[in-house]
Amino acid sequence: MDTDFKPAYRKSLDSGALSNTIKKTGTLLGDCTLCPRQCHVNRAEDETGICNTGKKARVSSIHAHFGEEPPLVGTHGSGTIFFTHCSLMCNFCQNWDISHEGYGEEVSDRELAEMMLALQERGCHNINLVTPTHVVPQILAAVEKAAQKGLNLPLVYNSSGYDRTETLRLLSGIVDIYMPDFKFWGKKAAEMTCSAPDYPEVARAALSEMHRQVGDLVIGKDGLAKRGLIVRHLVMPHDVAGTRQIMRFIAKSISPNTYVNVMSQYHPAGHAWKIPELSNPLSASEYRKAVAAAREEGILRFAG
């Protein structure tokens, strides 16, 4: 472990800012507007909206993950906590049982904190919160409890990119590493796949806010990520996602030094088979064209 590194949330814990933020986010559950869907349900009373999550977070699994980006994996893995349900609900989701079918169990804030500490005890290099958008208040309450008991790992916010800037601003000084997707450039694709035509504009604003908070990815002498932005982009068949436009935006409007993972693993999972444009796996040539487009648009740092 880098002895000079201090996670952002520990500084916020010491200053009292973390406690204040927990109070602010906790009140949001009573009339939930955490994500762009803004369902306005009373989750504090276990009413549910799009995300099908009430007062408590639900967790599907926790483990040391060795399939993440190299600066997160290191030698002992990224300590991933997979949250059940999602506010975006893509019809091609490759974790369908978790996001759509709700596989997982409710956990208290204390139990979630113990999960974080268990991952640290196993030697994981970070706490990787997968699909955290709809459970920000629960996460923050757990982080405070875990930090009070010695949690000292970078906190990774691993999201779909469908995040309200208002919610993200509450995380300033708490999250160390943001790892959003940027899924689609066009409204038509976002409407077709997840009934969220506002996704492109929401993601652009979210990435800008994330980068404002943490900047370009900083990798320590040990090869591990400490702070900054990682962007994932899943290349889709027939260029449904609009890869070139996304890469141009990242290079020009975020930073050409953004650490980008151009991903090739698309396959027609979930209900993707119902949509002709998405019913085939990604071809090798389509992926090569996407990577070339990223380079041509000025992206300088790639995962792998």
Instruction: Kindly report the number of other CB atoms within 10 A of residue 200's CB atom.
Output: 23
Chain center to CA of 205: 15
| Amino acid at the residue 202 | V
**Cβ burial, residue 33 (10 Å; 0-12/13-18/19+):** middle
Distance (Å) of CA 220 to CA 12, 76, 217, 230, 279: 22, 16, 10, 15, 41
Q: Which architecture characterizes domain 8-302 according to CATH? A: Alpha-Beta Barrel (3.20)
pLDDT tens for 268-302 read: 999 998 899 999 999 999 999 999 999 999 999 99
Contact call for residues 157 and 177 (beta carbons, < 8 A): yes
pLDDT tens for 17-43 read: 999 999 999 899 999 999 999 999 999
Confidence band of 188 (pLDDT split at 50, 70, 90): very high
pLDDT exceeds 60 at position 1: no
Q: Residues of the chain with pLDDT > 90: what percent? A: 94
The structure's pTM equals 0.96
pLDDT tens for 99-141 read: 999 899 999 999 999 999 999 999 999 999 999 999 999 999 9
Which sequence spans correspond to the domains of the chain? 8-302
Question: Can you tell me the mean pLDDT for 241-267?
Answer: 97
